[in-house]
Amino acid sequence: MKREEALNLMKENIKQKNLQKHCLAVEAVMGRLAEYFDQDKEKWKLAGLLHDIDYEETADEPEKHSLIGADMLGEMGIEDDIVEAVRAHNGMHELPRNTLMAKALYASDPLTGLIVASALIHPDKKLSALDTEFIMNRYGENSFAKGADRDVIASCKEMDLELEEFIELSLEGMQNISDELGL
């Protein structure tokens, strides 16, 4: 599936603008991680863009989130490794994350929220104004951005990435699309 087709699919299934931006942010982070790990950037970006394809449909049944989306993507002929990464990104299911892509998607999902929240409290309210240290300090504040699960973010170690390096790479990815994100 080409990016334009995937973007249209995401927008057809996700109407909330902030959730659309979240998917774009995860796509950008996944693209940056793919570069770092010398993986297929387009595939990784597709996983990020489409990971929450069923989020609005499953809003009242979070236990179904990612399962319905993965099935939908599988039926559309999306590659198995993307489908499995999408399926495993919801920690509620406790599915194994057997690929580097699945590990990256799992850890990236909540980190994008922490980075956005960090930008919104920064005086400049811009991703370009952030640095890794600023986000690391917010990471350490447990009352800040409570929805950004620190344990999931810390799972970056499954990719042999230190937390600081993971945050730096993710911030770089999101800064590359700051206009699209409105930050």
pLDDT, position 181: 96
Asked if residues 52 and 25 have their Cβ atoms less than 8 Å apart, the reply is no
Q: What is the pLDDT, as a whole number, of residue 8? A: 97
pLDDT tens, the chain, 183 aa long = 999 999 999 999 999 999 999 999 999 999 999 999 999 999 999 999 999 999 999 999 999 999 999 999 999 999 999 999 999 999 999 999 999 999 999 999 999 999 999 999 999 999 999 999 999 999 999 899 999 999 999 999 999 999 999 999 999 999 999 999 999
Q: Which of 134, 132, 140 is nearest to 121 (CA)?
A: 134
Locate 154 and state its tokens.
Answer: 């810390």
CA–CA dist 105, 38 (Å, integer)? 16
The range of the structural domain enclosing residue 42 comes to 3-181
What CATH number is given to the structural domain containing 17? 1.10.3210
Model pTM score: 0.97
Q: How many domains does the chain have?
A: 1
Compute how many other C-beta atoms are within 10 angstroms of the C-beta atom of residue 100: 18
Q: How far apart are CA 163 and CA 149, in angstroms?
A: 13
Instruction: Calculate ∠ Cα 130-104-62, nearest 5°.
Output: 95
